[in-house]
Chains A and B, each alone.
Chain A
Amino acid sequence: MFAPFLLKLRAAGLPVSLTEWLALVGATRAGVAEYEVENFYFLARATLVKDERHMDRFDRVFAEHFRGVLPETTITGELITRDLPEEWLRKLAEKLLSEEERQAIERAGGFEALMDLLRQRLEEQKKRHQGGNRMIGTAGTSPFGAFGDNPEGVRIGQEGSRRRSAVKVWDKREFRDLADDAALGTRAMKLALRRLRKFARQGEAEELDMAGTIGATARNAGTLDLRMQAPRRNAMKVLLLLDIGGSMDDHIRASEELFTAAKSEFRHLVHLYFHNCPYERLWKTNHRRAANMIGTEEVLRTYGPDWRVVFVGDASMSPYELLEPGGSVEHWNEEPGQAWLKRITGHFRRVGWINPVPEGHWAHTRTITLIQRLTEGRMFPMTLDGLDRMAKALR
């Protein structure tokens, strides 16, 4: 009974291994769950799920797998959307709707029409939320809501008992909000960015210099002479230029994660913002106000050529923004964007561009191709492999 459950969890994309499995079996045998279904659910969750983002997926698999085994039948929205059990809907509707209401439905096209509508609605919902994360009715779009039904939506799976408490904990799916299918975790990003490290000794001398001490002590005829040195630190200096233009809205999450990863990896990290294309000024915070402005000339003067510059942006804009004076969408720029890009790439020896747009689509956007040329082919997709390639190119 348990082994298929494990396989189902793995099939659902939960990283469950034998270690956790044995722990669950061991804990069950030790009587932690005390032979109570709910406790068993809690135990299984504590053992098999290691990330709150996976809890919702776990709840779904649990509900599906233990449906027949558990005393009360419970079905999640996910299952219903897969094969709609018409019998239940009918029974439910009959039970919940008053005589007049049913007549009203008859007039509007009858039960069949209502069922069709419901089924259609469910399919739509499923398509819209690709993760299949919504139970029917929770969004309040189910046609049953219109008939003043249970405010929690269509409650199939609780035939005969309408007690609220009958809803199983795992059917509540309280962790829905935390579910997330992000491909790139911060941890993975950090590991990729680590390739960009370059160590150098800097700062206070607070570490014992072993070789130096031995040498000095020997020269001192055996009397201890301690030598200290500065610890090795990551001396890589990174200037991060982030695009916060409108077209980047889709990629905000990924950019934020990248930023978080970079922030903790580099001691010398400066980040500035631009809108679509860098011109004669940049911004220090993402509220682009005059007070936060910094001239691009000043940036070039402040940061030496040893800084690595990493642009994060989709490089998708109108070609005018890049090629023509006055092409900017928000102000009159004396010089075209490409002049500024050339200045930046000319001053800093190593410049990379991370693009959240999938690599396969790059050729379709003219400005991406142009900027790729301007950065000497150092444009990389925002994937682990891309970060890796960039780290190598900028070393």
Chain B
Amino acid sequence: MRFQSTDRYIASRDLEVAVNAAVTLQRPLLVKGEPGTGKTVLAQEIAKGLGLPLIEWHIKSTTKAQQGLYEYDAVARLRDGQLGEERARDVANYIIRGKLWEAFTAPTPVVLLIDEIDKADIEFPNDLLLELDRMQFHVYETKETVAAVHRPIVLITSNNEKELPDAFLRRCFFHFIRFPEREVMERIVQAHYPDVRKELAAEALNAFFLLREVDGLKKRPATSELLDWLKLLMAEEMPPEALRTADMKVALPPLHGALLKNEQDVHLLERLAFLHRGRRS
């Protein structure tokens, strides 16, 4: 099983090595990087590339580690018991399996994505240490131990909102997705929109990289924004001339809503454009 770039996902060589190391040694791979550089998509592509099913566990600020293992619905059992239902006798009927359990007991190896682990409470990663290390956990209610049939390929993404504990990091491989350079970006655009007009793509990339260099942007547009924007431009059949970078300083690029998600950023650019216009006249 080897992971490599596909025609839809352009992976750099260091990313390939990191993924293959994690797959071979069966350890989790932690992926960090600017938002919009394809961290979550990576899991889908690994699953597709290796031909394995993907189980996604999206983390929210309220997610508890235990929810990934299992939950015991005591209230339902109590109610059933009150009503004298037969199934209330067996506690196993009220154990709700979590994503990790699902991944551990799947008949084939799976890819497990733990998305945005930094959203959860600061202790969350610590609570999963043993489970991810040994790939097993104990269910106290039924006194059984759930162990992985096949160790899943675990991919963890983080947006750097919280720092992760050392003990957790020690058990992972780590990869930082850097923002792609222009050539790579061209390949990515090619991979997603093979039928895009060459001039349009070139002008759009010019405008995009120029925009990323503007100082003081709160959220610099990333790959996913560029792809959305290009899609819009193609749908609108925008002529490439409309994107000429020389005009960028005078007016915002057309359909900039796809690139700038923050009103402060839009204001900033408008102000820059205004200043520039003033200087020219």
Determine if chain A interacts with chain B.
yes
Interface, chain A (partner B; CB < 8 A) = 15, 17, 19-20, 23, 26-27, 30-33, 38-39, 42-43, 45-47, 49-52, 55, 169, 174-175, 178, 185-187, 190-191, 208, 223-224, 226, 264
Asked whether, in the complex, the Cβ of B178 is within 8 Å of the Cβ of A51, the reply is no
Which residues 173-223 in B have Cβ within 8 Å of A in the complex? 173-176, 178
Asked whether, in the complex, the Cβ of B170 is within 8 Å of the Cβ of A32, the reply is no
Q: A26-B25, A50-B30, A55-B176 are in contact. Are A42 and B163 (CB under 8 A)?
A: no
Asked whether, in the complex, the Cβ of B170 is within 8 Å of the Cβ of A190, the reply is no
Task: Select the residue from A32, A174, A190, A208 with max chain B CB neighbours within 10 A.
Answer: A32
Binary contact readout B255-278 vs A (1 if CB under 8 angstroms, 0 otherwise): 000000000000000000000000
Asked whether, in the complex, the Cβ of B174 is within 8 Å of the Cβ of A46, the reply is yes
Q: Which residue on chain B has the smallest CB distance to residue A226? A: B75
The segment from B15-23, B42-50, B140-148 found at the interface with A is: B15-23
Q: Which residue on chain A has the smallest CB distance to residue B14? A: A42
Interface residue? B162 (CB, 8 A): yes
Measured CB to CB, the closest approach of chain A to B223, in angstroms, equals 18
* Chain B contacts for A264, CB-based, 8 A: 162
Measured CB to CB, the closest approach of chain B to A2, in angstroms, equals 16
Interface, chain B (partner A; CB < 8 A) = 13-14, 17-18, 20-22, 24-25, 27, 29-30, 32, 75, 78-79, 82, 122, 162-166, 169-176, 178
Measured CB to CB, the closest approach of chain B to A70, in angstroms, equals 17
Measured CB to CB, the closest approach of chain A to B6, in angstroms, equals 19
* Docked complex Cα distance between A27 and B27 (Å): 11
* Docked complex Cα distance between A42 and B16 (Å): 9
Asked whether, in the complex, the Cβ of B24 is within 8 Å of the Cβ of A30, the reply is yes
* Chain A contacts for B174, CB-based, 8 A: 46-47, 49-51
Measured CB to CB, the closest approach of chain B to A19, in angstroms, equals 5
Asked whether, in the complex, the Cβ of B170 is within 8 Å of the Cβ of A20, the reply is yes
Asked whether, in the complex, the Cβ of B27 is within 8 Å of the Cβ of A45, the reply is no
Q: A52-B32, A190-B122 are in contact. Are A27 and B25 (CB under 8 A)?
A: yes
Asked whether, in the complex, the Cβ of A19 is within 8 Å of the Cβ of B170, the reply is yes
Q: A38-B13, A39-B17, A187-B122 are in contact. Are A223 and B82 (CB under 8 A)?
A: yes
Q: A19-B171, A224-B82 are in contact. Are A46 and B75 (CB under 8 A)?
A: no
Asked whether, in the complex, the Cβ of A187 is within 8 Å of the Cβ of B79, the reply is no
Asked whether, in the complex, the Cβ of B122 is within 8 Å of the Cβ of A46, the reply is no
* Docked complex Cα distance between A357 and B31 (Å): 36
* Chain A contacts for B171, CB-based, 8 A: 19
- A39-B13, A175-B176 are known contacts; what are 11 more A-B pairs with Cβ within 8 Å? A15-B166, A23-B27, A27-B24, A32-B21, A43-B18, A43-B21, A46-B17, A46-B22, A51-B174, A55-B176, A186-B162
Measured CB to CB, the closest approach of chain A to B60, in angstroms, equals 14
* Docked complex Cα distance between A82 and B236 (Å): 58
Asked whether, in the complex, the Cβ of A50 is within 8 Å of the Cβ of B17, the reply is no
* Docked complex Cα distance between A223 and B83 (Å): 10
Kindly identify which residue among B21, B78, B79, B169 contacts A46, using a CB–CB cutoff of 8 Å.
Answer: B21
Q: A23-B27, A32-B17 are in contact. Are A46 and B175 (CB under 8 A)?
A: yes
* Docked complex Cα distance between A27 and B172 (Å): 13
Asked whether, in the complex, the Cβ of A45 is within 8 Å of the Cβ of B14, the reply is yes
Asked whether, in the complex, the Cβ of B163 is within 8 Å of the Cβ of A46, the reply is no
Asked whether, in the complex, the Cβ of B170 is within 8 Å of the Cβ of A17, the reply is yes
Asked whether, in the complex, the Cβ of A47 is within 8 Å of the Cβ of B169, the reply is no
CB contacts between A and B, total, < 8 Å: 79
* Chain B contacts for A33, CB-based, 8 A: 17
Asked whether, in the complex, the Cβ of B25 is within 8 Å of the Cβ of A23, the reply is yes
Asked whether, in the complex, the Cβ of A185 is within 8 Å of the Cβ of B25, the reply is no
* Chain A contacts for B25, CB-based, 8 A: 23, 26-27, 30, 32
* Docked complex Cα distance between A208 and B30 (Å): 36
* Chain A contacts for B22, CB-based, 8 A: 46
* Chain B contacts for A31, CB-based, 8 A: 24
Measured CB to CB, the closest approach of chain B to A288, in angstroms, equals 17
* Chain A contacts for B24, CB-based, 8 A: 27, 30-32
* Chain B contacts for A50, CB-based, 8 A: 30, 166, 169-170, 172, 174
* Chain B contacts for A30, CB-based, 8 A: 24-25
Asked whether, in the complex, the Cβ of A224 is within 8 Å of the Cβ of B78, the reply is yes
Q: A185-B163, A191-B122 are in contact. Are A27 and B21 (CB under 8 A)?
A: yes
Asked whether, in the complex, the Cβ of A42 is within 8 Å of the Cβ of B173, the reply is no
* Chain B contacts for A42, CB-based, 8 A: 13-14, 17-18
Q: Which residue on chain B has the smallest CB distance to residue A24? A: B21
Q: Which residue on chain A has the smallest CB distance to residue B17? A: A42
* Docked complex Cα distance between A49 and B18 (Å): 12
* Docked complex Cα distance between A208 and B75 (Å): 9
* Docked complex Cα distance between A174 and B164 (Å): 23
* Docked complex Cα distance between A245 and B260 (Å): 31
**Could you pull out 29 A-B pairs where Cβ atoms are within 8 angstroms?**
A19-B171, A23-B27, A27-B21, A30-B24, A30-B25, A31-B24, A32-B20, A38-B13, A39-B17, A42-B14, A43-B17, A43-B18, A46-B14, A46-B17, A46-B18, A46-B174, A47-B174, A49-B174, A50-B174, A52-B32, A174-B178, A178-B176, A186-B162, A187-B122, A191-B122, A224-B79, A224-B82, A226-B75, A264-B162
Measured CB to CB, the closest approach of chain B to A125, in angstroms, equals 25
* Chain A contacts for B172, CB-based, 8 A: 50
Measured CB to CB, the closest approach of chain B to A284, in angstroms, equals 15
* Chain A contacts for B165, CB-based, 8 A: 187
Q: Which residue on chain B has the smallest CB distance to residue A53? A: B176
Measured CB to CB, the closest approach of chain B to A311, in angstroms, equals 25
Task: Select the residue from B14, B27, B174 with max chain A CB neighbours within 10 A.
Answer: B174
* Chain A contacts for B13, CB-based, 8 A: 38-39, 42
* Chain B contacts for A32, CB-based, 8 A: 17, 20-21, 24-25
